[in-house]
Amino acid sequence: MVDNEPSLRVSVATLDKVIFQSPRDGTLMMALERKATLTNVTNRSIVDVRAQPFGGAVRLRNLDGLRDLIRDFKFDSERSRSEQDFRILIRPTHWPAIKQFCLQHLQNADDVALESDPCRELVEEFADALQVDLRPDQYVYQPLGFAIENEPVPTDNLYSRGFPTVRIYRIFEVSIVDDALCLAMLTASEHHSDYTLQTLVLNDAKNTGRGRANTVLALSLKRLLDFYLNVLPEKRYVPGYVEGHHLDVSVLAVLKEVEVPQLQRL
């Protein structure tokens, strides 16, 4: 990795451990965003279906503080620039300073530099996955801390594929307290199989040119924890398969009960 130019990608995001009690039997469930995307790999169209925590990129509300800290950064894509997403390229030696900058600002409610709460992304993603307008009275949330991936890993992000990336996750626990919404999540999870999502993606590609479809996957929290805790710690940080569903490696970031050597938890 060359240090005289911005070559290390930094991705800063909120991730939400969305939990709720099943209105049917009281089981504590965890809701994930199940995303299907049509991608081209070596001239072949492939539908990737995976589940990941709700959440998304932290927005830079004000660039002045970051520019004062390091001047020679750049956004990883035009999309990140237009949306002010904290997905940037930096010199590798600037990583410790960037990490401390993020930890400081993300702990402050209503921070002027960084978006520091999960609400905007949560509302947007519930609208996308469930076609519902998430209201403040339907959920409560609290911060759980941070999960940091210090060792660079090539990203599979569509707009900056392959860049060595380090990550900071601000973790929140989000409890859904509205029974009707809990039932809607269960129903959506049961109604859409991975196969039906693949069909929806192909139809979306044909009709809009995008090739995307989203829904919810609801799994027993105990089932998830048991799955990961039965894997040796040094082998956990890989995509998992629970009840036939492909789980993104980022699911581990919100499960503080599961030790993962590749993640620094604060």
**Domain locations along the chain:** 8-265
Encode pLDDT of 125-166 as tens digits. 999 999 999 999 999 999 999 999 999 888 876 666 778 999
Would you give the end-to-end CA distance of the chain in angstroms? 27
pLDDT for residue 216? 94
pLDDT for residue 6? 85
pLDDT grade for 169, boundaries at 50, 70 and 90: very high
Cβ proximity of 5 and 91 under 8 Å: yes
Which DSSP string do the residues of 27-56 spell out, in sequence order? -EEEEEEEEEEEEEETTEEEEEEEEE-EEE
Looking at per-residue pLDDT, the higher value among 226 and 63 belongs to 226
- In this prediction, residues 70-99 reach a mean pLDDT of 91
List the one residue out of 53, 58, 43, 46 whose CA is nearest residue 10: 58
User: Who contacts 163 (Cβ-Cβ below 8 Å, separation ≥6)?
Assistant: 8, 9, 76, 89, 154, 155, 157
Helix (H) or strand (E) run with residue 252 in it: none
pLDDT for residue 72? 83
**Is 245 a residue whose pLDDT tops 60?**
yes
pLDDT for residue 40? 64
Encode pLDDT of 85-131 as tens digits. 999 999 999 999 999 999 999 998 788 899 888 999 999 999 999 99
pLDDT grade for 4, boundaries at 50, 70 and 90: low
Q: Which residues make beta-bridge pairs with 214?
A: 35
Encode pLDDT of 28-69 as tens digits. 999 999 988 887 655 667 778 889 999 999 999 988 888 888
pLDDT for residue 22? 96
pLDDT grade for 208, boundaries at 50, 70 and 90: confident
pLDDT for residue 154? 83
pLDDT grade for 195, boundaries at 50, 70 and 90: confident
**Which amino acid belongs to residue 146?**
F
pLDDT grade for 167, boundaries at 50, 70 and 90: very high
